[in-house]
Structure 1
Amino acid sequence: MKTTLIPIGNSRGVRIPKPFIEQCGLAGEVEMDVQDGMILIHSPRCPRSGWGAAFESMARQGDDKLLDPVPVSTRWDNEEWQWK
């Protein structure tokens, strides 16, 4: 689909047809990036979305164990740390 840039103050804008917005699930804020000479507009991503399911899957597979066998204390832990 071809469209025209329209002036918006000192910037330029593009009218996005309602069906495009609905198909992409856009609402409110959007994120905009430039890649390979193209402007990409998408819904903001939640930084930790999917973490809960990933952790549950790891636990089912027994892949949620600590990597260090014994907690390591440092000089700072032993000499400077104070519980209040």
Structure 2
Amino acid sequence: MKANIINIGNSQGIILPSMLLRQLKLSNRSTVELEINNGSIIIKPEPRQGWAEAAKQMNAAGDDQLLLGDFPNEFEKEEWTW
């Protein structure tokens, strides 16, 4: 797939086809990481986008309790020293 470099204000950029954005689950507000590797530009989705907001919503709904409580194992009971 080819793309042309175009002027965007005082900068330059490329237009990414919507097909690629859909495959990576990116939208207009997504953040990506840019890297240069062996003369190539690599664009990677930023991991865990939206997790902070989802955690806030879970907390507000009271849905962020531990599924399993603390339970000691044999090592913790007998061999662990502080």
- TM-score normalized with structure 2 length: 0.51
Partner of 1:29, secondary structure, is coil
Q: Work out whether residues 32 and 39 of structure 1, in 8 Å CA contact, stay in contact via their aligned partners in 2.
A: no
Q: Structure 1 unaligned runs (5+)? A: 50-55, 71-84
Aligned structure 1 segments of 4 or more residues deviating by more than 3 angstroms:
61-64
1:6 maps to 6
The Cα RMSD (Å) is: 3.5
Partner of residue 69, structure 1: 81
Post-superposition Cα deviations, 1:1-35, rounded to whole Å, max 9, x if no partner, equal 11110001221111111111101111222223223
Identity %: 25
Greater CA radius of gyration, 1 or 2? 1
One-letter code of the match for 1:32?
A: E
Q: Is the 8 A contact 1:31 1:43 kept in 2?
A: yes
Q: Secondary structure of the residue that 2:21 maps to in structure 1?
A: helix
1:27-83 Cα distance to aligned partner (Å, 9 max, x none): 22222322312222222213xx8xxxxxx8xx8x9898xxx721xxxxxxxxxxxxx
Question: Contact 1:26/1:42 (CA < 8 Å) preserved in 2?
Answer: no
Structure 2 stretches lacking a partner, 5+ long: 52-67
Alignment partners' CA distance in 2, 1:38 and 1:63? 49
